Amino acid sequence: MVRIHVERTIAAPPDQVFAWLADPANLTAARLMLKAGWRADAPGPRVGAVREAFAAGMWFNEEITAYDPPHSYSYLIVKVFPPLDHQGGTMTFTPSGTGTHVDWETTYTHPAVAGGRFTEALTSRVLRQGFEQILAGCAKALET
């Protein structure tokens, strides 16, 4: 099982950080993310909304499973290529001085048919970097 956990404190209020990170279009702050948005038949932001994303070598649909602005939201990947079994992801936003501490965690496994642990070793590095790039993009966009 892969567990990715990244954190960053961003010098902006929680409501702004939450809104920026909850907008799927901003997932493209990750270098390998090509396009992301709300699926037309399940628009967000709200519980049950579905984000579609296309990245180099990967595509996925994530369903929002909990939505509590500006405190947290959770999601579950419901369709993906290459295959993976996602146990869920959560972003938590906590006031920290004049900014917001973001805590992002997700867990998943790749089945043997998709390369199992070999693929997990690769995707864990790539996804961690992507999460860090997204948080850096948020900081760049919001910090003044």
What CATH number is given to the structural domain containing 93? 3.30.530.20
Note the pLDDT of residue 122: 82
* Per-residue tokens: 68: 């509590």
* pTM, 2 dp: 0.94
Overall average pLDDT of the 104-121 stretch: 85
The crossing angle, in degrees rounded to 10, of helices 14-22 and 116-142 is 130
CB contact set of 80 (below 8 Å; sequence gap of 6+) = 58, 59, 60, 61, 86
- Position 28 pLDDT exceeds 90: yes
Note the pLDDT of residue 106: 97
Query: Mean pLDDT for the chain?
Result: 94
Query: Domain total for the chain?
Result: 1
What residue numbers bound the domain in which 101 lies?
A: 2-142
